[in-house]
Structure 1
Amino acid sequence: MIIGSRIHFLRQTVSTMDECRSLARTGSIEGTVVLANFQCAGRGRFQRIWLSPSGENIQASILVRPKITELPYLNMAAALAASNAATEITGLHSAIKWPNDVELAGKKLCGILIESEISGAGVDFAIIGIGLNVNLEPERHKEIKNSASSLKQFCGRYVSRSQTFHVLLKHLNHYYERIKAGESLTSEWASKLNMLGCDIQISFPGTNKPSINCRADSLNEDGSLSVRVDDGSMFTATAGEVTLRS
């Protein structure tokens, strides 16, 4: 088993991503995991703060050393692993919101962040960051009460974080080994996306780019999204915030 070959548990840290990066730069082995009971400044895409009260959820970062051609599949592997773990624990279907959120009943259950360091034509290392809501009670937090979900909500009981963590690592290791074997994850990932064929709006937080009203047409091998803009033109999105249009 590659993922979870070494696990560092921290009671508290600023960011598991930063801790994992420090370990990577000092030669830690592939598959090393940093898991924290609480992180003071967890972050998601676009430098957004990830709300995660102490002792309720999983916030973990995983060190991998992929080939540069394998980088696009890391996000897919993490999303598929989290989705399958959620289904295994709750018995419910979970969906993936492009590009990197996992949802239950249309609300965010898990966020994923991939960061990498590249030298020349090679990858020094990559870090897979996963924030999974386990026992979070969204209704207690006005910022997320209408947008977030948790495993506890759908199980109707307290959910073991330890069990969830090991189920998550099992699935992530499965997909990472498939990547290392040269397999594509794109088709399986696409089958779980919840907006292909739908009318959507793509916004680009942190930039001056205007939002695009379009239809999600198809998914490309590298995970980018081909969309048909309302004016009839085609556009390939590699990042952005997607919302469904009614």
Structure 2
Amino acid sequence: MAMTANVMESDQQRAFEAGMDAIIAKPIVLEQMVTTLNEWIKPRQIVAAPATEEADGDFPQLAGVNRDTAMANTVANWELFCKLVRQFIEQDSANFGARYREAEQSEDSEAAIRYAHTIKGLAGNLGLESILIAASELERESRELPQRQAVISALIDTIENALAELAIEVAAKCRAEAPAPAITEPVVVESEAWQALRQRLRQQLQQSSFESSDTLESMLKQLPEGALRQQLRQVAEAVDHFDYDLALQRLK
């Protein structure tokens, strides 16, 4: 099975000739991805993408964001969307212009193209349309020879401005991340209640369940800063990227 942003008929034909059974197009549409996966794999139970209608009123509109795409790909979970967008702003696209130029000057001639492609894909998955459009154009311009540096510079400025505006909106509309709780009585990790919670999380990860995010949040709220909290943060990071296998490895 191929996951690719190259979805022209000729691209799909090459994928099938290479032995792929199906194609999942990027940016990912969660419902379509789940439907395609259910056609080709045999899960323990048929997984359906959760409906988003009930949470519709709890998902604010942000400038430059396709709300329908954002809701579909975060199962209408506003807190999850905020977490992923913060990660996109603070990590994936931080110092975007400098990182693009650094990649452009590297010995790897494809580095800048890959970076623009990565930002395009992440923005598309989160419904960040203004950034998606500019990053798509930047990727295309990066492939052109000779390169039009004035156009590339303008696109970098467009993306950086869009990121700055997005950061302001996120700061205004997303709830600030809570600090680690000041817990005077440590959690008894050997207790039946804690072990039951841990077992529930393990089962949810084995089933690639979206509910694992809520279970992790509940567990993190009970922990002070320390090694166990850091471990669960790493598990949560993998879940945020929908990498449930990695999350299971980190839980052990």
Provide the TM-score with structure 2 as the length reference.
Answer: 0.26
Query: Whose RCO is larger (CA < 8 A, sep 6+)?
Result: 1
Higher strand content, 1 or 2 = 1
**Greater share of residues in helix:** 2
Structure number with bigger Rg? 2
TM-score by length of 1: 0.26
